[in-house]
A and B are shown apart, each in its own frame.
Chain A
Amino acid sequence: MPGRRSLFVLMALAFGFAFLYLPILAMIIYSFNASRLVTVWDSANSPTLAWYVELFHNAPIMESARLSFRIASVNATGAVILGTLAAFALERYRRFRGRALFGLLTTAPMVLPEVITGLSLLLLFVALDQAVGWPGGRGATTITIAHITFSMAYVIVVIQARLATVDRSLEEAAMDLGARPWKVFFVITLPLIMPAIASGWVLAFILSWDDLVITSFVSGPSSTTLPQLVFSKVRLGVSPDINALATILVLIVTVCVLVAGSYMIRMERRRARDAQAAFDPAP
């Protein structure tokens, strides 16, 4: 019954969110800990920003961050373009040859373990190298291609969901009034799914930025992404500059989410106000 919240559910929520956030909070707190042992609090010298300073002076980390950023941007753009096309095909074209296979190809990368997709992509690049001489060794290009392939699947989910809510009769009405199909897409459909495209872009960016396993398979000696760097460090144990890095990332993400959230709330409020205006007496 709506309105009656059971105690069990409330406790589950509390426990669940605590479970989700406690590690992150702990990580943030320890980033201000002067001790190199990270989890042993050095009350004499803490809190300190020393690790943050050290982070910015750490050339390899900065370098790999830049690389990750570049790859993630290109990947997000590519994934969104291909993903929009694919989502459109899946949602609007109900019957074409090979549709079942297409549906599988667009879902599988999202679900299959990364060791499989990473291994297979590496073998592909090696085979291509032997056969046609491209891509000529592994690096940023191969990483980007790999990332686009798997983040496309996620983007498709987001965009297809939004596309499904777009009333088909809007597109038909536009065609009825004389607009050719491609024009209908750019003038009618695209503006209406723009929020999904934007969130798809962000999602693809984050997935690429964060990826480790697939990247490890398809990267080369000269291209080390941030996750790769972090992982090699972290295998050896906790390290305070990683905490600092984590905190910065959490901060950036939180700010972005808050900004996006408040924007959405403002839009909602404006829409509600406009809908109310419908019932005003005619001028």
Chain B
Amino acid sequence: MNTAPAQGAVSGTTAGAPYVRIDRLTKRFGNFVAVRQVSLEIARGEIFCLLGGSGCGKTTLLRMLAGFETPTEGAIYIDGVDVTQVPPYERPVNMMFQSYALFPHMTVAQNVAFGLRQDGTPRAEIDSRVREMLALVQLDGYEKRKPHQLSGGQRQRVALARALVKRPKLLLLDEPLGALDKKLRERTQFELVNLQEKLGVTFVIVTHDQEEAMTLGTRIGVMRSGEILQVGSPSDIYEFPNSRFVADFIGSVNLTDGTLTEDEPDHVRIACPQLGGTVYVDHGVSSPPDAKVSVAIRPEKIQLSRERPEQPDNVLSGVITGIAYLGDATRYLVRLPTGFVLRVTAPNIFRHEERLGHDETVWLHWHPSAAVVVTR
């Protein structure tokens, strides 16, 4: 069922009322519109990921939340309070910068204590909170070190501690895992989520890495050219993309055009000339008949076999032209008689099975629920 939410609406919230409300936020730089009429609601305690390529406006949106950019139009409400004109040093919002922005002339402890000192917190309380936070990020013992004496991962944890020690209502993270290598990235992903669950702080993360967004986010907002295209949980976005762009942006996908030939409440059929056949989808679609639509099928949802499968629909035949063995799965490129190439990903479940080889003719089939009809 494709419940592509209209731009601006909320789909699937976690517990709590909208904690952060962004109302038709627009940012113009001269003639260039960086953020265009974005409306969003973020619930308390969730991890919201803004996902998009470079130049899509996600960083500008984040900076407006932090207070470093003034919106041209629109408003931002945090916990019911209009903070649109409030300067960054008065907002209950803290940010973890992409470059970490640790003060090089201060020690780790001084860095973490900085925010508390600006508030005039008593000395004893500062000390205890700093110690507690450093322990939480597993950096106890590093109080006296200076930033240039720390590794990349350690610096990140200091930046995180510094931002969280003030117990902000909202924590903004700008590409938090971008500077880390793969192993460290995986470990940090889980640590971040654990930390968030323990502290209950609302996170807004900006990233261009979809894997990061899928792992970290409870909800994702896909952005392009200053607009939010789709908001939803990772599975919503992945399984039910509302546009070609979103379908193509997340993971890999097979996209083809077609025309609706049968449009019933409980099923549709789409004639796809590029595939050389019809696709049967087991749910209804709200489109006029004979409409031009796109069909998206994820590679892992297509199965390969040497014998012709018995199902009546969603069966094709083709020739394997490319094989990439990845260890946990194998990716195939299969050329159809029409010339169109399909991507198929098959998990390597059995160790000793007879592998499919180059130039072998295979049968492809998928379940009626596998394909997604995309109307944009």
Contact = CB atoms under 8 A, between A and B. Distances in A.
Contacts of B66: 172, 176
A275 B103 contact: no
B141 A172 contact: no
A271 B104 CA distance: 11
For B66, B101, B150, B151, which residue has the most chain A Cβ atoms within 10 angstroms?
B101
A62 to B, nearest CB: 42
B68 A172 contact: yes
Interface stretch (B111-119, B219-227, B304-312, B346-354): B111-119
Q: Is the interface of A mostly helix, strand, loop or mixed?
A: helix
A169 B115 CA distance: 15
A175 interface: yes
Contacts of B95: 172-173, 176
B149 A177 contact: no
Interface stretch (B86-94, B183-191, B248-256): B86-94
B149 A277 contact: yes
A28 B105 CA distance: 43
B77 interface: no
Contact of A178 (B115, B149, B150): B115
Given A167-B101, A278-B154, A172 B118 contact: no
B89 A179 contact: yes
A235 interface: no
Contacts of A175: 67-68, 87-89
Interface in A233-283: 271, 274-275, 277-279, 282-283
Contact of B148 (A169, A188, A278, A282): A278
B162 interface: yes
Interface in B44-86: 66-68
Contact of B94 (A176, A275, A282, A283): A176
Contacts of B363: none
Interface in A155-175: 167, 169-170, 172-175
B146 interface: yes
Interface in A208-249: none
A191 interface: yes
B115 A275 contact: no
A176 B89 contact: yes
B118 A192 contact: no
B136 to A, nearest CB: 15
Given A169-B101, A170-B103, A192-B105, A176 B93 contact: yes
Nearest to A280: B149
Contacts of B119: 178
Contacts of A176: 66-68, 88-89, 93-95, 163
A183 interface: yes
B321 interface: no
A191 B88 CA distance: 22
B105 A169 contact: no
Given A175-B87, A177-B118, A282-B141, A170 B149 contact: no
A170 B98 CA distance: 11
A180 interface: yes
B149 A274 contact: yes
Contacts of B149: 274-275, 277-278
* Residue in A175, A180, A282 whose Cβ sees the most chain B Cβ within 10 Å: A175
A178 B118 contact: yes
Contact of A180 (B89, B94, B141): B89
Which of A172, A173, A279, A283 has the most C-beta atoms of chain B within 10 angstroms of its own C-beta? A173
Nearest to A172: B68
Contacts of B114: 174, 177, 179
A267 to B, nearest CB: 12
A271 B151 CA distance: 14
B371 to A, nearest CB: 45
A182 to B, nearest CB: 11
A192 B147 CA distance: 14
B89 A178 contact: yes
B145 to A, nearest CB: 8
Interface in B95-134: 95, 97-99, 101, 103-105, 114-115, 118-119
A183 B104 CA distance: 17
A279 B94 contact: no
Contacts of B141: 282-283
Contacts of A283: 141-142
Given A177-B166, A178-B166, A283-B141, A172 B101 contact: yes
Contacts of A180: 89
Interface in B160-219: 162-163, 166
A282 B137 CA distance: 13
Given A176-B66, A176-B95, 19 more contacts: A169-B97, A169-B101, A170-B103, A172-B68, A173-B97, A175-B89, A176-B67, A176-B68, A176-B94, A177-B118, A178-B115, A178-B119, A179-B89, A179-B114, A191-B105, A192-B104, A274-B146, A278-B149, A283-B141
What 10 A-B pairs are tightest by C-beta distance, nearest first?
Answer: A178-B118, A177-B115, A173-B101, A169-B101, A283-B141, A277-B149, A169-B97, A175-B88, A274-B149, A175-B89
5 contacts: A172-B68, A176-B66, A176-B93, A176-B95, A282-B154
Interface of B: 66-68, 87-90, 93-95, 97-99, 101, 103-105, 114-115, 118-119, 141-142, 145-146, 148-151, 154, 162-163, 166
